[in-house]
Amino acid sequence: MDRTQNNFCLILRDKLSLECKQDIEKNSADEWNSLCRIATDNNLLPLLYYKLISHKIAVPRPVENSLRNDYLSYSGKDLKRGRQLCELIKIFNEHGIEHMLLKGSHLAEKVYTNSALRVMCDIDILVRREDIEKAFKVLINEGYYDGSRPGCSNIVKDVYVHHYPVLYKDNLFPVELHRYLFENNDLENMEQIWSRAQTVSIGGMASKVMTVEDLLIYTALHGLKYHTQKLGVNFLYDLHAVIIRKNINWDIVAERIKDNDWGNSKTLYSALVMTKKYLHTNIPENFLNVIKPADFSEKIQAVIEELILCRKIHNQTAYTFSFYLFHALKEMSLKRIAGQALFSPEQISAETRNRYKGWRIAALYFQSVMSIFTSFLKIICQSFFAGNNEAKKAFSAGRKAGIFTHWLES
C-alpha cells in the first residue's frame, strides 16, 4: 500500500487523529489528484467529499470545488433513483408481487446515513421464483424494455438462472430482477431468507429487506467470491457501514455461515479482516477467531489486499483469461479449462442466439477455440513483449483472483 492509498483509507475511517489529518493536508497537487482517482475507481467520490468535510480536512480550493460538483451531481441522480425505486415498489405492491431490496438499494435506503453516498449503477430487486415472470411482464407493460439482444431473452432467462435480463427505461436506472441470490442457491435456502426478511417503509410504502446478519454475509459473499474483478475499498465500506449502523448478533452470523450454500467462513473472514485492518471497524476478535479458516495465511491475505487495492481493471479480456487459466491450473481441471477458460456453451448460446442444448453449439466449438487462442496470443504479447502496463496489470490481477478463488473453493 502506498502513501495515497493509505491516506484514502484513513479518510474513510470514522475517527482521524490530528497527526494523520495534518499529514493528509500536506498532500501535493499530484497526490490530491491520485486520491480523487482512487475514489473514482472505487465509486466513492461522494463519500470522499463527505468524509473530508466531516474530518474538517483543509483541501485545496480547486480539488474541493471539483469534489463538491461531483457530490451535487450524484445527489441529483440519487433523488431520481429514489423516486424510481418508490415507483417500482408501488407497482409491485399494486400487483401483489412480494419483493426484497438487494445490494445498493438496501444499503442506500436503510444503512448509509445519506443515500447519495452509496453510488449505484442499477437497481437490484429479489422476487419470489414463482412471481418473477409476472414481475418481468408487469415492468414491460410499465414502459421498461428488455435489454438483451433480439431473440436472446429466453436464452438469458435459461442461462443466468439467478436473474432475468436487465430492464431499461429512458433516463432511468437499469433494473435487474433476481429470483435467487446466487447461481447455486437452493429453494430451501431461499425460503429461509424470505422467512427471515423484515418489512420496512420506503417512501411510505412497504417493502422487504434482509435481516442485518443475512445482509452482512451476502455483502461479503457477493463482493469477494462473485465479483473479484470489481473488488475495491467500496466493498469494504459497505461492510463497515452495515456493522457500525446495525446491532449485529455475531453468534447468529457464525451459525448461518456453517451452511456453505449460503455462507462461507473463508469469504466472510477474509472480508471482515480486511475491513477491520483498513477501516478500523469494530469487529469482535473472538468472533474472528471462531470463524478463522485453518489454512488462512499471510500469502492469501497479501493476495486479497492486492485485489482490493489495485486500480480499476480496464482490460477485462486479459483479466478474465488469466483468472480462468490460473484457477483451472490450480485445480488441474481439464473440464474447467475446456468449459470456462476456453469456450463456455452458455456464452456461445447467448452470442449466437441458439438454445444452450442445441446441437449446433458443438459445431461452434472450433471457432470459439480459435478466437480464444488468438486473444491469448494477443494478451501474452501485450503483457510481456509490448510493454502494455494495463494488460500486464490485468493479467496479474486475474492470476491473483484465480489463486484466491481456488482457495475459497478448496
Q: What is the mean pLDDT of residues 44-66?
A: 96
| Structure confidence at residue 372 (pLDDT) | 62
What are the φ and ψ backbone dihedral angles of 210, each rounded to 5 degrees?
Answer: -70, 160
Minimum mean pLDDT range among 57-71, 76-90, 142-156, 265-279: 142-156
Residue 19 within any structural domain of the chain: yes
Name the band, by pLDDT with cuts 50, 70 and 90, for residue 108: very high
Residue 77 within any structural domain of the chain: no
Taking only the tens place, the pLDDT of each residue in 253-289 is 998 887 655 557 888 999 999 999 999 999 999 999 9
Tell me which residue has cell 485485489: 307
Is 11 in contact with 57 (CB distance < 8 Å)?
A: yes
| Structure confidence at residue 188 (pLDDT) | 73
Task: Tell me: pLDDT of 162 over 80.
Answer: no
d(CA 219, CA 285): 20
d(CA 274, CA 304): 8
Residue 107 within any structural domain of the chain: yes
| Structure confidence at residue 386 (pLDDT) | 53
Residue 66 within any structural domain of the chain: no
What are the φ and ψ backbone dihedral angles of 11, each rounded to 5 degrees?
Answer: -65, -35
| Structure confidence at residue 151 (pLDDT) | 47
Classify the C-alpha dihedral 148-150-153-156 as positive or negative. negative
Q: Do 326 and 299 share a structural domain?
A: no
Q: Is 98 helix (H, G, I), strand (E, B) or coil?
A: coil
Taking only the tens place, the pLDDT of each residue in 356-401 is 555 666 666 666 666 666 766 666 666 555 556 666 777 677 777 7
Q: What is the mean pLDDT of residues 152-181?
A: 76
Q: Do 248 and 297 share a structural domain?
A: yes
- pTM of the predicted model, to two decimals? 0.84
Q: What is the mean pLDDT of residues 226-239?
A: 80
Task: Tell me: pLDDT of 340 over 70.
Answer: no
Minimum mean pLDDT range among 70-84, 120-134, 159-173, 290-304: 159-173
Q: Do 350 and 392 share a structural domain?
A: yes
Q: Do 187 and 91 share a structural domain?
A: yes
Q: What is the mean pLDDT of residues 101-113?
A: 94
d(CA 121, CA 175): 9
Burial class (CB in 10 A: 0-12, 13-18, 19+), 6: middle
Domain containing residue 254: 217-309
| Structure confidence at residue 213 (pLDDT) | 94
Task: Tell me: pLDDT of 144 over 60.
Answer: yes
- How many CA atoms does the CB half-sphere of 68 hold within 13 Å? 8
Q: Do 192 and 151 share a structural domain?
A: yes
DSSP symbol at 97: -
All three cell numbers of 304: 486479497
Q: Do 153 and 88 share a structural domain?
A: yes
| Structure confidence at residue 159 (pLDDT) | 45
| Structure confidence at residue 128 (pLDDT) | 93
Q: Is 259 helix (H, G, I), strand (E, B) or coil?
A: coil
Q: Do 346 and 401 share a structural domain?
A: yes
d(CA 82, CA 236): 24
Is 209 in contact with 246 (CB distance < 8 Å)?
A: no
Residue 156 within any structural domain of the chain: yes
CATH code assigned at 153: 3.30.460.40
Q: What is the mean pLDDT of residues 43-53?
A: 96
| Structure confidence at residue 405 (pLDDT) | 80
Q: Do 116 and 193 share a structural domain?
A: yes
Residue 165 within any structural domain of the chain: yes
Question: Among residues 280, 220, 287, 218, which one has the least CA distance to residue 249?
Answer: 287
Q: Do 240 and 165 share a structural domain?
A: no
| Structure confidence at residue 131 (pLDDT) | 94
| Number of independent structural domains in the chain | 4
